[in-house]
């Protein structure tokens, strides 16, 4: 107990009073609060920046690209795609009143790819009970092809070309050729 008293007395003699000690504690507390306040400001500004970037990204994803292009905010590096007009006849056996844009685009891509390979598509038929399939008739070929719209048009056109060459080379005249499965083709 005596040791403690002597220590307190030594502090007072060194100029440390109770008021000075209280003042020192208050200043430390204020500094700590100021640090916390700055930390909160940094945290808030970081969250606001993240929120703005998220909103801009969401707008761009949901179709706000036109808005960004109009005001030159962002450059998406996109070029307008040339739309290929289908020249072949399209027969709809499925009973759909309107052809979907995806189906129209696939037919256009397939016709263009076939033309690049030297073949002319005469008719595309949407069969009755198959929404993901097409029947394709080629000029000067006595059979039709069953194709799937889930496969790429270029790959399908190449498979069709290989089958025409194979069947003509072996003098086979089938009713149709099925190229819906990648890497395999069937004929009947």
pLDDT band at 187 (very low <50, low <70, confident <90, very high): confident
Q: Beginning with the edge strand found earlier in the chain, give each strand of the sheet holding 89-92 in spatial order.
A: 89-92, 121-126, 133-138, 144-148, 176-178, 186-187
Give 84 or 52, the one with higher predicted confidence: 52
CA–CA gap between residue 119 and residue 133 (Å, rounded)? 20
> Is residue 82 in a domain?
no
Same domain, 46 and 105: no
Q: What pLDDT, on a 0 to 100 scale, did the predictor assign at position 130?
A: 75
* 114-158 pLDDT tens trace: 999 999 999 998 888 877 889 999 998 989 999 998 888 889 999
Same domain, 31 and 111: no
Question: What is the predicted pLDDT for the residue at 80?
Answer: 52
> Per the domain annotation, does 76 fall within a domain?
no
Domain that holds residue 130: 89-187
Inside any domain, residue 59:
yes
Q: Give the model confidence (pLDDT) of 27-70 as tens digits.
A: 777 888 888 888 888 889 889 999 998 887 777 777 655 555 55
pLDDT at residue 174 is higher than 90? yes
pLDDT(10) > 60: yes
Residue bearing the bigger pLDDT, 129 or 169: 169
Q: Is residue 151 in some structural domain?
A: yes
The answer, yes or no, to whether residue 74 has pLDDT greater than 70, is no
pTM of the predicted model as reported, rounded to 2 decimal places: 0.55
Q: Which residue has the higher pLDDT, 24 or 162?
A: 162
| Judgement on whether residues 62 and 96 belong to the same structural domain of the protein | no
Centre a 10 Å sphere on the Cβ of residue 111 and count the other Cβ atoms it contains.
22
Q: What's the pLDDT score for residue 29?
A: 79
- Considering the domain architecture, whether residues 105 and 163 belong to the same structural domain is answered as yes
Statement to judge: residues 107 and 174 lie in one domain? yes
Tell me: do 172 and 93 sit in the same domain: yes
What is the number of domains present in the chain? 2
| Confidence tier at 82 by pLDDT (50, 70, 90) | low
Same domain? 162 vs 98: yes
Q: What is the mean pLDDT of the chain?
A: 80
Q: How confident is the model at residue 175 (pLDDT cuts 50, 70, 90)?
A: very high
Residues 112 and 155 in one domain: yes
116 lies in some domain? yes
Same domain, 19 and 64: yes
Per-residue CA distances from 142 to 4, 60, 86, 136, 138 (Å)? 112, 49, 21, 11, 8
Looking at the fold, whether 93 and 178 belong to one and the same domain comes out as yes
């Amino acid at each position: 107990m005596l040791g403690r008293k002597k220590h307190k007395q030594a502090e007072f003699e060194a100029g440390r009073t109770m008021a000075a000690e209280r003042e020192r504690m208050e200043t430390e507390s204020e500094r700590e609060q100021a640090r916390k306040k700055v930390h909160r400001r940094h945290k808030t500004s970081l969250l606001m920046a993240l929120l703005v970037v998220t909103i801009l990204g969401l707008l761009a994803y949901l179709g706000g690209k036109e808005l960004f292009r109009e005001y030159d905010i962002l450059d998406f590096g996109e070029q307008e795609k040339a739309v290929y007009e289908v020249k072949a006849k399209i027969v709809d056996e499925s009973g759909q009143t309107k052809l979907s844009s995806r189906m129209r685009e696939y037919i256009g891509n397939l016709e263009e790819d076939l033309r690049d390979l030297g073949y002319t598509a005469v008719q595309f038929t949407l069969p009755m009970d198959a929404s993901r399939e097409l029947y394709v008739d080629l000029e000067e070929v006595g059979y039709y092809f069953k194709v799937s719209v889930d496969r790429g048009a270029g790959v399908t056109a190449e498979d069709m070309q290989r089958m025409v060459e194979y069947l003509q080379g072996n003098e086979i005249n089938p009713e149709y050729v099925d190229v819906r499965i990648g890497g395999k083709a069937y004929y009947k």
